Structure 1
Amino acid sequence: MASVLAYCRAGYENDTANELTTWLAEKGVYGYPMFRPGDAYVLFHQYDTTDNSAAEPALEVNKVIFARQLIHVIKHLSELDREDRIGPILDALKTATLPFNKAGDIVIEYPDTEEGKNLAKFCRKFLVPLRQTLRKHGLLSKQENHAKPRLHIFFTDFDNCHLGYSLPAEASEFAMGICRLRFPSDAPSRSTLKLEEALLSMLNDSQRQRVCRRSGRAVDLGACPGGWTYQLVQREMFVEAVDNGSIDETLMSTGQIEHFAADGFSYRPQMGRVDLLVCDMIEKPDRVADLMGDWLVRDWCDHAVFNLKLPMKKRFETVTQALDALHEKLRKLHDTFYIRARHLYHDRDEVTVVVVRN
């Protein structure tokens, strides 16, 4: 039975499971998810099928919202001998039927939980001898090759692990699917990391250059104290910062910001339109998505990056409804759009959405 392993934030297992089940069903892959609340991962078991075309679905992690990483599971190893964990892993890989002869890289991973952090030191140490063994047996390239599939060993505790692989065109490039960023010491708030992660992980180089055009204009709705504005200023954009609160004085001294004490829902761009609209307002997700759609449809902005704040329950359903409404609104235009929504590592109870006009 084929299985898929999804890494996620602890507490979001149910949302990840619901999305994964829905998404795979759309690909003609049916099964059932298994998870325990707080474990930070979901295992999806595919029903046995004689249709080989459905055996290995494409797992494009950038097309789902809540999963940080998606891997094809080779085997689950339980009750490992702590004196020899490498032997069972080697045997499993030697006997597995894989769609490649040799992997280009290997990562040892663990759940992003407090309990999982206890595994971190062990995983770092275990990687070196395992890598050497797999190279010796011809299962791993002598040099890292990110153009080839990557092997994943996901330890759920010291005695149990899932063996799997990911394909380079489908997987997150980051270990455990986590884009870790250093907080800039001169940034006015940690929310700056949300926008930085979105720009780095959700857009390619070409999109990033168009969205954050040097000397371009942007509007930041709900800007106070300036965490998102900071990212735009760093990219040499001019910003209309909209918030009834105050903006960081150091940020204002750059000369790249105009501050408007106004309601984000009634504000209009000073020069009729801007290149980019960003928004991190604390509001109902359907209301924010509707506002973003209005700006795009009325051509007040070319592109948008915004957060949808999530309720405590039915988060997947809530986001899906908001995004469906946005898609429906944008269908009125002749333009085409790249739209992606992700629950980023630096997000909390929110989802980040990017909309790029093609």
Structure 2
Amino acid sequence: MTVSDPIVRPASGWVLYCRPGFERDCAQEAYQRALTQGADLHIAEAQENSGYVRLSGQARPPHWGSLVFARQVLSLVAMIDPLPDRDRLTPILDALPAHPAVFSDVWLEMPDTNDGKELSAFTRRFAPLLTDALVERRRLGGRDELPRLHVFFPDKRRAWLAVADPTQSAPWPMGILRLRMPPDAPSRSALKLAEAFDMFLSAEDQQRYLHDGLRAVDLGAAPGGWTWQLLRRGLRVMAVDNGPLKGIVAEHPWVNHLRTDGFRFRPDRPVDWVVCDMVEKPSRVATLMANWLVGEHARHAMFNLKLPMKKRLEALESALNDIESIMQANGVRYRLSVKQLYHDREEVTVYLGREANPRRTRR
């Protein structure tokens, strides 16, 4: 055997994709979830700025949406190291698990890093070869509800094979919901709110809760990216910020720009939405948003929690616990969803909504 000969090893555990720089938070959160499930897993890889995390052991992965920092969660089945320079197809085919017999699809993926981007040209060329080989072996082309095969390249020398249940995993390659920057939006923050709506609200919910004639308050509105996103969905907006608005939102007839303190402002009558992208401690923003819903100033809230450089997970859990304590103490039924979006940076995005039914959810 030479150094270039591939070594194919069966493997088990979870592969999680995350924002580079948040590997420790992603690994810690996933490990804590494994403990609550009674699973025997340990953190095997969580290198800083790698864009992925690996937990080793036997356990069924949780729903990807239930983890804040994970963009995708997969079941690892095999690892190839080193990956040959020439014939990469054969070891990947040799590493295929016996079950499922047929996959619904195959995705070739890499970390969302600069090094990972260098692999994208290779995966674009390689994908048709692998797809054709899987079809020829009758391993590809099953029903949409069948498991999906993922071939993840941590780097150019390694390939990991993983399997995903389409009902439990992110429906986008690399776990990234990609959106195009609208040319007339005042800032790129408009993409963040658009992604949040698609992440947290079903198509039916968006039709019910985001339509012409509804009213919203945008706290910390300047320069107007979130206000712009609300306008394009037909909402009238009170934009609260001492700073100036830019672009079309500055003179839009459906915008009322109020130069006042976002933490003190309350509308004279209830609105449908309050959104908030203010830079402040997560506990303060979380308490503010919970009090908006408890006080019936709004029915739905979408907001960012800016995380500290250290102890991010602890700060986040503390803020979310504050929300739950306030809502429960006031007998408010609610839905709480949290995710670090692709368009987030040192923050996470939260949806909080009053619920008419008796259930409380946190996802």
Aligned residues: 344
Confirm or deny: 8 A CA contact 1:212 1:276 kept in the other structure.
Answer: no
TM-score by length of 2: 0.91
Percent identity of paired positions between Structure 1 and Structure 2? 40
- Structure 1 residue 59, shift from structure 2 partner: 2.5
Match of 1:341 in 2: 338
- Structure 1 residue 190, shift from structure 2 partner: 0.9
Match of 1:51 in 2: none
The runs of 5 or more residues in structure 1 that have no matched partner are 47-54
- Structure 1 residue 333, shift from structure 2 partner: 4.2
Match of 1:133 in 2: 133
Output the CA distance in 1 between the equivalents of 2:131 and 2:82. Answer: 21
- Structure 1 residue 85, shift from structure 2 partner: 1.3
Inter-CA distance 215–11: structure 2 relative to 1 (3 Å threshold): same
Give per-residue Cα distances to partners, 1:80-114, cap 9 Å, x unaligned.
22221111111111xx253x331101100001111
1:176-255 mapped onto 2 (5 Å cutoff): 176-255=174-253
Match of 2:34 in 1: 24
Query: Are 2:351 and 1:354 equivalent residues in the alignment?
Result: yes
- Structure 1 residue 255, shift from structure 2 partner: 1.0
The amino acid across from 1:91 in the alignment is D
- Structure 1 residue 210, shift from structure 2 partner: 3.1
How much is the aligned-residue C-alpha RMSD, in angstroms? 1.4
Match of 2:291 in 1: 294
Match of 1:11 in 2: 21
Confirm or deny: 8 A CA contact 1:343 1:351 kept in the other structure.
Answer: yes
Match of 2:12 in 1: 2
Match of 1:52 in 2: none
Match of 1:67 in 2: 70
Give per-residue Cα distances to partners, 1:229-255, cap 9 Å, x unaligned.
000000000001100111225213331
Match of 1:314 in 2: 311
Query: Are 2:71 and 1:88 equivalent residues in the alignment?
Result: no
Output the CA distance in 1 between the equivalents of 2:165 and 2:46. Answer: 24
TM-score by length of 1: 0.93
Deviates more, 1:234-243 or 1:245-254: 245-254
- Structure 1 residue 213, shift from structure 2 partner: 3.4
Task: Give the match's secondary structure for 2:161.
Answer: strand
The amino acid across from 1:247 in the alignment is L
Deviates more, 1:212-221 or 1:26-35: 26-35
- Structure 1 residue 61, shift from structure 2 partner: 0.7
Displaced runs of 4 or more, over 6 A = none
The amino acid across from 1:36 in the alignment is Q
- Structure 1 residue 351, shift from structure 2 partner: 0.4
The amino acid across from 1:183 in the alignment is M
1:325-340 mapped onto 2 (5 Å cutoff): 325-340=322-337
